Structure formats: structure tokens, C-alpha cells
Structure 1
Amino acid sequence: MHALRHAQRRHIIASLDDLLYQFHTISFLLSPTLLPYLSRCIGQFQLSRPRDFYPKRSLRFWFFMAFFFNFPSIWDHTLFGAAKGPSIILDFIGLPYQPSRLHVLLLDFVILIFSLVLVTISHEHSLLASTTSQAPSSILGPHEPSENNNPFKTEALPYVIDLRLDSIIDRIRNPTPPQSLEPVRGELLPLPNTMPTELRDSLRMLIRARDDIAAARGDNNREQRRTDPPSRSRVLPGAIEPVDD
């Protein structure tokens, strides 16, 4: 995954996030049940930025969370179908007829699929941004094309995102080790709150030695001024020299 594609991937994540909020609202208008709607909205806020909340969790954990937040709606629509009655927010918004069970279930599974896609992209994108190496991601990285000896064929640009089912399954089975979001000690700026203790002690010793040298030089200058005879005051040219008593 190329580093220059950061802005495009952020735009894709934001677009999928907005699309899923619209799907949640449509599902609520078709079947006005407040609890599943709130559950989906709360889960959606976490799925769009997974490593901001739990940076050491793997992609397998966030897949489970996506199923967990969508399970109440799928369970309710499977057993009872669409909820009857007007909407809780506005009575005059909605369909004039009750949607079928297949209609609401199809929308639920579309929401679940898009939620899994979103959490995969956002998790891998934040995981790549937190690492210092430029190694491509096994999920979002571009697929290596086969060698072609045709001299007239131009080289294709790498994909912004290249999702493949086998790569996702492999990442779920073999999750990556948790990456620490704290910067490496050697990369920190030499500030008082970030530099190591050994470096702070060395700087204090250098500052103390510099102050001692400056104090010694000041003492030598004062002693020299005491021992030197007072110089005769200078007289301007043409002026009358003072007469010594």
C-alpha cells in the first residue's frame, strides 16, 4: 500500500462511514425500533476508527464487534419481521405499507457486509500508519501483476485499496502482533519530558561544568584587576595635565 494514497483511503473510509449511517436511518424508517438503531449508531462510531479505542485489538475482534452490534436487528427482523406502527421521530415519514421480512433482512445483511468492509479498511489503514516500516499491507496492498514482456503495454498504477477474500481470511486466522502507538525512544525530540534519564543527567553535568568555568574566569578577572596598578587617567590631546601633589 503506497504511502501517497493516504488521502484517498481516508476519503473512502469517510464515504463508507456516511453511507452506513444513511443505511441505519433507512432501516430505522422501515422498521421503527429505537434500540437496534442506537446500537448500530454506537457501534458504527467505533468501527470507523477501531484503533483509536483499542489499539491492541486484532481484526478478528472487530469482526466480532460488527456482528455483535448488528445482531439485534437481524434477530428481531428474522423472528418478527418489520416493526409495526409509526416511526418514533416523525409519524408521517415512512412507507404507506409494512415492508416485507425479506426486504428488511436484505438491508440488514447489506449493512453487515459494508460494516465488515469498513472495519477492515480502517483497521489496516491505521495499522500501516502506526508502523515505521513501509512494508505493504497484506490486505490493502496492491496485487502483484504477472510479468509481461510486451514493450507497448504501460505499467498500471497501484490500486488505492485491493481487498481480497483470501488475504482477509489469512489476517483473521493469523492476526498481526499489536503495534505500540508510542514513538520509539530514539526518535523523540530532546525535550525535558521525553528525553531519557541518562541524557538529562549528561546535559545537567555539561551545564554545571560550563557554569563552573564561567565562575572561575570571573574570579580570575577580579583578581587581575586587584593586582594590576591603577593606570594613569588618559588626558585629551591639548588638555592641561593634572599636577601630582
Structure 2
Amino acid sequence: MRKRFYAQRLHVIQTLDTLLYQLHTLSFFLSPSIWLYVCRIISQFHCATPRELDPTLSLRFFYAMLVFINVPIFWNHATRGAVEGRAIILDFIGLSYVPSMFQLFTLDSFIIILQLLLITIAYETSVYHASEEADPQDILLPDFPNSFTIPLFHPSSETLSESPQPSPVLPSDSKMPSHTHGLPLIIDLRFSSIIAHLRHPPHPPPPPRSTSPLSAIPLPNTVSWPLPGMRMLMQAGRQMRDTRAGGNRRSPTTRVADGRIPGAMDLSPG
């Protein structure tokens, strides 16, 4: 099934991920603590691909993980301020002032807000793309209309009739909301949808299964994930054994017409 706006959302995820790595580095420059920097890099590593850690975990678990990792960083910057008293940009260049606690707290708040936004988009994009339903629910682009409607901020019927039609290049979907310019939205994230999703998390879709006929062959291991490399080796070994057995059946060791045995020494009389 064709999934709408999958490539565009991946581009948004990659852009937010790159921006957050830069913000983590900026926070390290302002308050150089290698342990806090490593913790943030480890947490950021799973923000762009949360379901690769475990596809059965819910979005609420990843929210709790981010909060658990960022609480010590908030506490350290709120109580101690900048580490070592000066901020180092390079080995020989520093700032002319000590970063205040408010600057560090503002940067930390901005980082965790972007992390929560990134992990929400990445998780819901992965769930929507992996769903096998005919019409899966898309939290990032809900189908219900805007509940806060004011006629003053909406164009009249005459303006709507004169507005340009959507571009035929873009995918068409009757459920896609669009803004006043006629271009469809890629992400329409609602706070109420996120809260409802966290309070009542749906069951995530199962991981994709292998369609190979050899996936049902029992292997001599006890792991739960498939091993395609091992199946390929077993298939190649079985084909080699079948080839050898077929060659042996096609070339029996029989005597030739002149009474000689193939491979024997040619003994002439005399």
C-alpha cells in the first residue's frame, strides 16, 4: 500500500536529528561536562529510530526515557550552573562571560521539547508505515476538522472559488487537510491527539516478517530474531548436496564396450 508523505517525513526527522546534535554540542561548549554530553548523545541516538530498539515498546516508554535522562542535566545546570566557570569554544578561545543558569535552562528546555517532538514524529511515522491495515490511523495527520473555527479567519465562498487548485504533482487524498494555498499538509500534530495517545497507547504493529519459505526451518539457535545469513548458507549447502547426488546418479561406474574399466591402466598383451 502506498503511504502518504513518507519520504517528506523522513526528511523532517533527519533535519531535526541533525539540529539536535548541534544543540547538544552547543550545550557542551557552554557547560563542558563529558558525562552529560555522552548521556545526551546516547539518548539522541534512539530519538530518530525509536522502534529499532524494540518495536513492541510504546511511545510512553520513550517519553519516560527522555525525561529520565534529562532530569539530571536540568538539576545539574539549575544548581551548579556552568561547569568549570567558563565556556570553551575552542582550545584557545573562550567566551568573555560566564553563561548564566537561565541561558543553560532555556537551552535545555528547548532541547527536550525538540527531542519529544522528534521522537513523536519518528515513532508515529514508523508505526504508520509498518501498519498492514487498509486505512491505518495517522496521528501525525488526523482526519477530524479544526474545532476552533472563526468565520473572520476563513475565506468566503467567493474567495474559495477563485483560489488556485492543488497541484496535480502532489498526491491526492480526500482526507488530507490543506491550508489556504491549496498545498496538502505533511504533519498536523495536535496536542490533544498526543495526550490521548499517551493515556491510551494502541497496540503497536508487529515487526515485518520474512516471506522466505526457509523462515519456517528450525535453526539450531534459541534467538527470537531471524537469521537470513544462516538460511542462505543452509540453502547453498543443500543445493550442493543435491547437485552431487544427481551427478553420481547420472554417471554410474560401468564397463565400456571394449572391456576396459574407466580410470584403469591400459595393459597391452605381450
Q: TM-score, normalised by structure 1?
A: 0.69
Is residue 75 of structure 1 aligned with residue 75 of structure 2? yes
Other-structure match for 1:92 = 92
**Bigger RCO (CA 8 Å, 6+ sep):** 1
* CA separation of 1:93 and 1:73: change in aligned 2, threshold 3 A: farther
Shift in Å, 1:92? 2.3
Shift in Å, 1:135? 2.8
Q: CA RMSD in A?
A: 2.6
| Cα distance between partner residues in 1 of 2:191 and 2:121 | 13
* CA separation of 1:152 and 1:7: change in aligned 2, threshold 3 A: same
* CA separation of 1:171 and 1:96: change in aligned 2, threshold 3 A: same
Shift in Å, 1:145? 4.4
**Letter of the 1:175 counterpart:** P
Sequence identity (%)? 41
| Cα distance between partner residues in 2 of 1:182 and 1:96 | 54
| Cα distance between partner residues in 2 of 1:94 and 1:177 | 50
Is residue 180 of structure 1 aligned with residue 202 of structure 2? no
Return 125-134 or 34-43, whichever deviates more.
125-134
Q: TM-score, normalised by structure 2?
A: 0.63
**Letter of the 1:176 counterpart:** P
Unaligned runs of 5+ in 2: 147-155, 167-181, 218-270
Other-structure match for 1:111 = 111
Shift in Å, 1:72? 2.0
* CA separation of 1:139 and 1:122: change in aligned 2, threshold 3 A: same
* CA separation of 1:151 and 1:112: change in aligned 2, threshold 3 A: same
1:30/1:94 contact within 8 Å kept:
no
**Letter of the 1:158 counterpart:** P
| Cα distance between partner residues in 2 of 1:93 and 1:139 | 46
Is residue 163 of structure 1 aligned with residue 185 of structure 2? no
Give the 5 Å matches for 1:134-213: 134-145=134-145, 150-153=160-163, 154=165, 156-183=182-209, 188=211, 191-194=213-216
* CA separation of 1:140 and 1:134: change in aligned 2, threshold 3 A: farther
The answer to which structure has the higher helix fraction is 1
Structure 1 residue matching 2:91: 3-state secondary structure: coil
2:20/2:111 contact within 8 Å kept:
yes
